[in-house]
Amino acid sequence: MNHPPTIETERLVLRPFQISDAPRVKELAGAYEIYKTTLNIPHPYEDGMAERWISTHAAKFYGGDGVDLAITLKADGLLIGAVGLGASPRHNRAELGYWNGVPYWSNGYCTEAAIAMIRYGFRAMNYHKITCTHMECNPASGRVMQKAGMHKEGTLVDHVIKDGEYHTMIVYGTLKDEEGASTQDHSST
Ligand SMILES: CC(C)(COP(=O)(O)OP(=O)(O)OC[C@H]1O[C@@H](n2cnc3c(N)ncnc32)[C@H](O)[C@@H]1OP(=O)(O)O)[C@@H](O)C(=O)NCCC(=O)NCCS
């Protein structure tokens, strides 16, 4: 492990966040649509929250607990979302997570970023397994996992409480041995 990576794909550059990204993170992650299908993003997204989140990234990476990267457009550098891996070192696996700004949905950007992060997790971090979990009410995220070559592993019924209601979670996974099985594998590091 050296430094947080910068990863190029066909249309994207995934790069470490900088504190100067905070206003843009607040603007995009502050949308209710992002809060609605995630478990750890606050709403309302107050001033200072993005700065605090970004300031945790270095300790997370250098502590071996994973990585968070900004999804930016290669064409103009615009930050459109976030993708990350949260590691479980004891089990040599990581949990993939992502959000993409609402104006940029359904262009394949998240899938492109997810494929690149899975590749990074297996090749650079040598994880054995990468998982990803979505709320049942969020099929778009399940679609991203499928397009990134992950397999559905199970359903966790009424597994979490969000806003006072139980939600069922769908778990996907992929193993290092399966790398390359994804259908849109055009990323490069
Ligand atoms: C989930 C999310 C990251 C997807 O980002 P994205 O950039 O739009 O993803 P992609 O364009 O790569 O793929 C989305 C896929 O979902 C599909 N989709 C969109 N809405 C859907 C729905 N209601 N039901 C089923 N599929 C849906 C799209 O058509 C696309 O599939 P396709 O390429 O086969 O047509 C984005 O919607 C988001 O940020 N949501 C809020 C945060 C969140 O839920 N994060 C994930 C937590 S697990």
pLDDT single digits (tens) 95-134: 999 999 999 999 999 999 999 999 999 999 999 999 999 9
The Cα–Cα gap between 9 and 167 comes to 34
Residues of the chain with confidence (pLDDT) below 50: 183-189
**pTM (2 d.p.):** 0.96
Q: Which two tokens stand for residue 98?
A: 């992502």
Please give the pLDDT value at position 189.
40
Please give the pLDDT value at position 140.
98
The H or E element containing residue 110 is helix 109-123
Cis amide prior to 42 (ω within 30 degrees): no
Q: How far is the CA of 62 from the centre of ligand 1 (A)?
A: 30
Q: Which of 106, 147, 187 to mutate to test the pocket of ligand 1 (most atoms within 8 A of CB)?
A: 106
The Cα–Cα gap between 15 and 31 comes to 22
Q: Which of 35, 130, 143 to mutate to test the pocket of ligand 1 (most atoms within 8 A of CB)?
A: 143
99 neighbors 38 (Cβ within 8 angstroms):
yes
In DSSP terms, which residues pair with 151 in a beta bridge? 173
Residue 138 Cα: closest atom of ligand 1: 44
The Cα–Cα gap between 35 and 6 comes to 26
The Cα–Cα gap between 34 and 42 comes to 10
Protein residue whose Cα sits closest to atom 20 of ligand 1: 140
User: Beta strand 66-73 with 12-16: parallel, antiparallel or unpaired?
Assistant: antiparallel
Q: Which of 81, 78, 76, 70 is nearest to 28 (CA)?
A: 81
Task: Please report the domains of the chain, with CATH numbers, ordered by start residue.
Answer: 7-178 (3.40.630.30)
The Cα–Cα gap between 61 and 12 comes to 21
The Cα–Cα gap between 102 and 107 comes to 11
Counting other chains too, the contacts that 160-167 makes at CB distance below 8 Å and 24 or more residues apart are: 160/39, 160/135, 162/39, 162/135, 167/135, 167/136, 167/137
Please give the pLDDT value at position 182.
52
